[in-house]
Homo-oligomer: A and B are copies of this chain.
Amino acid sequence: MAQQEHQSCIEACDACAAACDHCATACLSEPNVAAMVECIKSDMDCADICRLASAVMARDSSRAQEICSLCASICDACAAECEKHQHEHCKQCAEACRKCADECRGMSR
């Protein structure tokens, strides 16, 4: 079944969404929050597209590949932004984004 087929990509998307949401909140608690604005914004976009990608894969939607392709691109951009920062939450988020991007590229091929 579709859900099993896409299981590892669904899990990577869910983990990435949680890492992005967590990173956004943690960025808002950093002393120099002004330096984290772009990171917060990319976290918000990335969390949203990851949850959509997860949902359409679980529903075995005919548009899952296109949505995963866009998700991979947004995850890569979020990882690149997070990698500019030394905070532990940014490093963990970047790692989750890179993993999700890889899974989504595999899905959309």
Contacts and interface: CB of A to CB of B under 8 A. Distances in A.
Given A52-B49, A55-B48, A18 B25 contact: no
Interface residues of A, number: 45
B55 A21 contact: yes
The count of identical subunits is: 4
* SS of A interface (majority): helix
The 7 closest A-B pairs by CB, nearest first: A21-B58, A14-B14, A3-B22, A18-B58, A25-B59, A21-B59, A28-B37
A8 interface: no
Contacts of A61: 41, 44-45
6 contacts: A21-B55, A21-B59, A25-B59, A48-B55, A51-B55, A52-B52
